[in-house]
Amino acid sequence: MITVRVLVFNPFSENTYIASDDTGECIIIDPGCENDGEREELQSVLKKNGLKPVKIINTHCHIDHILGNAFVKDTFSVPLLIHKRELPLLTNFVQQGAFFGLETGSQVEPDSFIEEGDTVKFGASEFDCLHIPGHSPGGIALVSRQEKIAFTGDTLFQGSIGRSDLPGGDHNLLVKCIREKLLTLDPATVIYPGHGPETTVAEERRTNPFLI
């Protein structure tokens, strides 16, 4: 059984997720911890629950979702996985931070790339990778159909969708991918977005004004 823990970090109120199972292994999705207090909070949650990080996954590489990459990678010696089309954003990490007046620390390179159809494994669990561009070119979602869980980054939110006015954005493509790849999941699937509260596929099918 997969357990999901959420920590809200940085000035953008970004959701950093820890997904673990009964083995104690976990993956950290979009570590956004910006300062010492947030980094200590992340470590405290891991230690308190006896969790062992084995991978970092970035759903996309906008600054608020990658601020903690270096800390997690250096502290736990774990690999970083991104979609290859997010590499320009990741490489532009320091410049992104400077634009928002954020202290970014050191640059981190990905250890490998994940694409549509790949599987992310940890402990006795796994997530399927879906490529959902439109908010950013290499945006992905991580989905467990068995456990009815989906981490959607900044593509799908409760009652909204990701913005598409940033470089590489495409509104029509984003809506198309959400409809074809996320709204076709089991209606009971819980959506864990990059910001804000969780929702379900059924709720977004029924009420999301961008999708109905």
Domain ranges in the chain are 3-207
Place of tokens 């006896």: 50
Q: How many Å apart are CA 169 and CA 134, to the nearest integer? A: 5
- At 177 the pLDDT is 98
- On whether the pTM is more than 0.85, the answer is yes
3-state secondary structure of 126: strand
**Does residue 145 contact residue 185 with C-beta atoms inside 8 Å?**
yes
Pick the CATH number of 3-207 from 1.10.10.60, 3.30.565.10, 3.40.30.10, 3.60.15.10: 3.60.15.10
Judge contact between 144 and 125, C-beta under 8 A. yes
From the DSSP assignment, how many helices (H) and strands (E) are in the chain? Answer: 6, 14
Q: What is the pLDDT of residue 104?
A: 78
State residue 95's pLDDT score. 84
Residues in the chain predicted with pLDDT less than 70, given as ranges, are: none
pLDDT of residue 107: 79
- For residue 45, give the 3-state DSSP assignment: helix
What is the pLDDT at residue 84?
98
Residue 106: the pLDDT is 77
Percent residues over pLDDT 70 in the chain: 100
Residues 113, 119, 124: CA angle, nearest 5 degrees? 130
pLDDT at 212: 87
pLDDT of residue 172: 97
- The residue among 159, 129, 5 whose CA lies nearest residue 60 is 129
Backbone phi and psi for residue 207, each to the nearest 5 degrees, phi listed first = -125, -15
